[in-house]
């Protein structure tokens, strides 16, 4: 098969705050070039497009109001920001974490989780550790029980039951403000219900001749 230079048109129909389409042509085949300058040009174009896409999607989240609608462009924003995993999006995602989607679609064999129902939480979990500091901070603030559940879920989804609980307990130990400390304390049992610690296999603690 002959290699052809295949021009790819990337059109962000839903991402412009003003509603007009922003299009940029990128030749992805330049990434295969043996010329380092051609490679660098393609990478530079992709980085610029990636940065602009993140910026526009953050604008969409910050300027949009109300609950998610069917075919809401914020759904596209959540998907892209979770895929790109840019830490710059964390703050905007935290502010709309309790927005619930109408349609839940899981493309892999696993149980449906909080991040499937609440796409901002799902995007934060994909961004990973850069989101943890903001999630812990959000748990210190006054908010709905649903926001608390979502932030606890993100921490557990990223860190796991043991480390996630340690993160919360460490934040509790360092917090000096009574109200913020109380809100963190309320989050601990919520986290433990979402991510229960595994019980150790007690057989391994008995003498070998007493084990089953």
pLDDT digits (tens, 9 = 90+) for 53-108: 899 999 999 999 999 988 899 999 999 999 999 999 999 999 999 999 987 877 77
Measured CA to CA, the distance from residue 70 to residue 67 in angstroms comes to: 10
Q: What is the pTM (predicted TM-score) of this model?
A: 0.77
pLDDT digits (tens, 9 = 90+) for 176-193: 999 999 999 999 999 999
Among 11-25, 29-43, 76-90, the range scoring the smallest mean pLDDT is 11-25
pLDDT digits (tens, 9 = 90+) for 105-162: 777 778 889 999 999 999 999 999 999 999 999 999 999 999 999 999 999 999 999 9
What does the DSSP 8-state code read for residue 85? T
Pairwise pLDDT comparison (7 vs 33), residue with the higher score: 33
Instruction: Outline where the chain has alpha helix (H).
Output: 36-63, 73-84, 90-95, 114-117, 119-127, 132-139, 145-174, 178-194
Find out whether 77 and 60 touch, Cβ atoms under 8 Å.
yes
Q: What is the pLDDT at residue 13?
A: 35
Measured CA to CA, the distance from residue 62 to residue 187 in angstroms comes to: 26
116 C-beta neighbours (distance < 10 Å), count: 16
Residue 128 token pair: 């990973």
């Amino acid at each position: 098969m002959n290699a052809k230079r295949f021009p790819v048109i990337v059109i962000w129909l839903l991402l412009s705050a003003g509603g007009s389409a922003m299009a940029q042509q990128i030749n992805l085949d330049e990434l295969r070039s043996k010329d380092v300058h051609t490679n660098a040009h393609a990478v530079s174009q992709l980085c610029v497009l990636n940065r602009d896409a993140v910026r526009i999607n953050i604008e969409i989240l910050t300027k949009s109001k109300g609950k998610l609608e069917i075919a809401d462009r914020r759904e596209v924003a959540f998907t892209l920001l979770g895929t790109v995993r840019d830490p710059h999006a964390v703050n905007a995602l935290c502010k709309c974490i309790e927005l619930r989607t109408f349609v839940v679609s899981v493309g892999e064999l696993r149980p449906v989780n909080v991040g499937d129902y609440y796409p901002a939480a799902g995007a934060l979990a994909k961004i990973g550790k850069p989101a943890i500091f903001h999630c812990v901070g959000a748990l210190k603030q006054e908010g709905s029980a649903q926001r608390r559940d979502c932030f606890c879920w993100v921490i557990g989804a990223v860190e796991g039951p043991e480390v996630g609980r340690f993160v919360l307990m460490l934040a509790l130990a360092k917090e000096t403000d009574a109200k913020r400390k109380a809100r963190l304390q309320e989050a601990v049992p919520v986290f433990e219900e979402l991510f229960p610690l595994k019980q150790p296999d007690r057989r391994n603690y008995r003498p070998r001749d007493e084990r089953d």
